[in-house]
């Protein structure tokens, strides 16, 4: 999720599901996003809609600077593990 948000900037839940190529599910994406928001990894804003649309505004999620740092650290750790695995 953080990876997608870091690349795309701002996304809504269903967009994350479709762009993840089946790795994220509709039933779990919002609970996970909620937890990530609680941890300060992502931030959310309501989408701006015209008043007469009558639609419920979607929530747009984006990675926070802290989230981006966590993603960087995680990617680095995964790369180191992969190198270690390849050596052994």
Partner 1 sequence: MTRQRVSRPRPGTHLLRWAERYCGPDMLEAVVLPVVADLQHEECQAHAGTVTRLAFRMRNYLGLVNAMCLHFLVGRMGPITISKFTNSLRWLVMVPLAPLAAFAAQVLVIRLAWFALGGLSRDPGWTDWTVWAAKCATCPFMGAAFVAVVWLIAPTRKAAASNMALAVVVGWGGLLMVGAFQHIIEGMFHWWGFVMGLSGVLGGVVTWWLVRRSVQRRVVAV
Which stretches of the chain bind partner 1, using CB under 8 A? 12-14, 25-31, 33-35, 47, 54-59, 78-79, 81-82, 85-86
CB of 54 to partner 1, least distance (A): 6
Cβ neighbours for 61, distance < 8 A, ≥ 6 positions apart: 5, 10, 11, 12, 13, 16, 33, 37, 42, 43, 44
Residue carrying structure tokens 């390849």: 86
Least distance (Å) from partner 1 to the CB of residue 46? 9
Q: Specify whether the backbone of 54 is left (phi greater than 0), alpha (psi in -120 to 50) or beta.
A: left
> CB of residue 34 vs partner 1: minimum separation in angstroms?
4
Task: Closer to partner 1 by CB, 51 or 85: give it.
Answer: 85
Residue 52 or 65 with smaller CB distance to partner 1: 52
- Give the residues across from 60 on adjacent strands: 12, 45
Question: Among residues 65 and 86, whose Cβ is nearest to partner 1?
Answer: 86
């Amino acid at each position: 999720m953080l990876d997608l948000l870091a690349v795309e900037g701002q996304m809504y839940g269903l967009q994350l599901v479709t762009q993840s190529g089946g790795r994220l599910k509709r039933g779990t994406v919002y609970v996970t996003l909620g937890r990530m928001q609680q941890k300060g990894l992502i931030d959310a804003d309501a989408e701006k809609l015209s008043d007469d649309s009558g639609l419920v505004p979607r929530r747009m999620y984006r990675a926070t600077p802290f989230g981006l740092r966590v993603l960087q650290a995680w990617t680095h750790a995964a790369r180191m593990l992969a190198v270690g695995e390849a050596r052994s």
